[in-house]
A and B are shown apart, each in its own frame.
Chain A
């Protein structure tokens, strides 16, 4: 009886290891810093995480369908630079945002076509963009930051209610929209099928190349939203914008529990993963930590979270995922 109870409790812990980790992590930060559990800090945490949260929505599609994308942060940098160039040419911010968003989505459609019809490895295609898009952003601006002075930036950063900013609301809507597309539409269903076995799709009469294009189009939309939120947060077009965000997004999806092998996953898992990374980043920053310790602890925390998760499954005799 006791052993059954114990085993049941262990099972509950192992299956929700991440939620437990997030609570423990937050508790640790609360005990170290008085300001952690304040409305202002929680609201700031949401606002700071908006860009990478939106990218994690796209990354969920990419990982479920086995089309990993490591380029979003570089493409965001290029997108903000396009916005700045259009604004500098005197065409106004709205048109700039339109062009920047269109350029972002166009790059993703090109990636989708290369991966879909030429059957190139998505890791290589997006690795190339990771390099060239950031390089182009630096070249076009001569490595300078161009700031925007527009109402959009002040509006997106001003709290609506309870300290929640429009940026936070956008990120939340992206999760809801992403979950709906993943669960309720053909794009989502085909993404799962691609992750299981692309042959399934051909046998069902669906063109796998088209399904891949749709996955990349979805990631293009989330990246374009991320680009707008990046401008809202920094108020500038910076060629260095968002360096390393793609890694945060991918890690959030995996830590959330979506298998890297593809074919399975939930948007809710990604929400947990994003919460973990967001709490970790915010807490470590709050401790006034320097870059070196920050990186060391962050990397270690990610590995520990993975170990706890894998270890928990191991104890219960479940098959390790991925």
Chain B
């Protein structure tokens, strides 16, 4: 919509979110005893991994003006594909790519339905959200709906850290780095922004708009597959309730990061800050002994507060 959405100026745009995140960190450190300890910060990083990875995928989809509500179900399905493979004696080197590939296939199917048949993304991904969860549950049912993950590679990902950074957090860092490089330095990255900013203008510039959008959904599905692996690492189990509500958490962190749902504006760095804000708030509430049920209420209120503040304080869109 406006010049602000180009990468160079976007750096200054993200500062507002970063400032808010830093202020929160300082405020929480002063008001909660155990908040700023190294152990808790590492814990925060671990908690960020799953939602953060989903948030990166959602950012790309939101950038092209879409939305992907099926990611929570993909997390379950990829676990329901990788889990049985591990049980059947395959190594994690087969199971992990299979999980990621599963996500990619669902993402491509989403993109194809949305772009080739021109059905609204909300409707298509709501449909796949229901159907993919069903498919995952059908797979899981053969194992009495419960698969324990007992594999050296998964164990290592869960317990190891490199230079003090937990392995799951490292996965998030690598993915954010790759996605950021993709969006900032490659022609495809520019095309994602161009399509979301003004699809008609992008088409006139010779960009294959449907193809770019399909790639965005494929990226989101693939990253949801990665999040599925991370979820298996963190909980060491695949069970029916896995991934429920994660799609809304992913949308939440993208919105907290300041992206526009209409497309064309946003960045993975801002989404990471959005993820950090969400995780910090929940962690702060836990330290102060607030029950988990109230944390849901606070999460919802936080989204509302963020969009209202952005509208009232921010520059006119």
Contacts and interface: CB of A to CB of B under 8 A. Distances in A.
Given A125-B304, A130-B248, A307-B117, A118 B311 contact: yes
A247 B308 contact: no
A135 B296 contact: yes
12 contacts: A119-B311, A138-B293, A247-B126, A251-B123, A292-B138, A293-B134, A293-B138, A296-B135, A299-B129, A299-B134, A300-B131, A307-B117
B261 interface: yes
Interface string A270-310: 00000000000000000000111111111110110011001
Contacts, number: 141
A303 B141 contact: no
Contact of B248 (A120, A131, A247): A131
Interface in B105-134: 113, 117-120, 122-124, 126-134
A254 B123 contact: yes
Contact of B297 (A135, A250, A295, A320): A135
B135 to A, nearest CB: 5
Nearest to A141: B293
A250 B127 CA distance: 11
Interface of B: 67, 113, 117-120, 122-124, 126-135, 137-138, 140-141, 248, 251-252, 255, 260-262, 291, 293-301, 303-304, 307-308, 311-312
Interface of A: 68, 114, 118-121, 123-125, 127-136, 138-139, 142-143, 247, 250-251, 254, 260-261, 290-300, 302-303, 306-307, 310, 320, 322
A253 to B, nearest CB: 10
A128 B278 CA distance: 13
Contacts of A139: 291, 293-294, 296-297
Contacts of B120: 254, 260-261, 322
B291 A132 contact: no
A302 B138 contact: no
A120 B132 CA distance: 31
The majority secondary structure among interface residues of chain B is: helix
A97 B149 CA distance: 49
B132 to A, nearest CB: 7
Task: Give the secondary structure class of A's interface.
Answer: helix
A150 B293 CA distance: 29
A199 B262 CA distance: 18
B251 A131 contact: no
A128 B305 CA distance: 9
Nearest to B297: A135
Contacts of B138: 292-293, 296
B113 A131 contact: no
A297 B138 CA distance: 11
B296 A131 contact: yes
Given A127-B252, A302-B127, A120 B308 contact: yes
Contacts of A307: 117
A247 B296 CA distance: 20
A25 B299 CA distance: 41
Interface centre among A123, A292, A294 (most CB of B within 10 A): A292
Given A124-B261, A303-B127, A306-B123, A131 B134 contact: no
B137 A125 contact: no
A105 to B, nearest CB: 18
A127 B303 contact: yes
B308 A114 contact: yes
Given A114-B308, A121-B307, A132-B304, A127 B127 contact: no
Given A250-B123, A294-B134, A299-B128, A125 B307 contact: yes
Nearest to B317: A119
A128 B134 contact: no
A67 to B, nearest CB: 13
Those 4 A-B pairs whose CB atoms lie nearest each other, nearest first: A299-B131, A132-B300, A135-B296, A296-B134
A104 B251 CA distance: 25
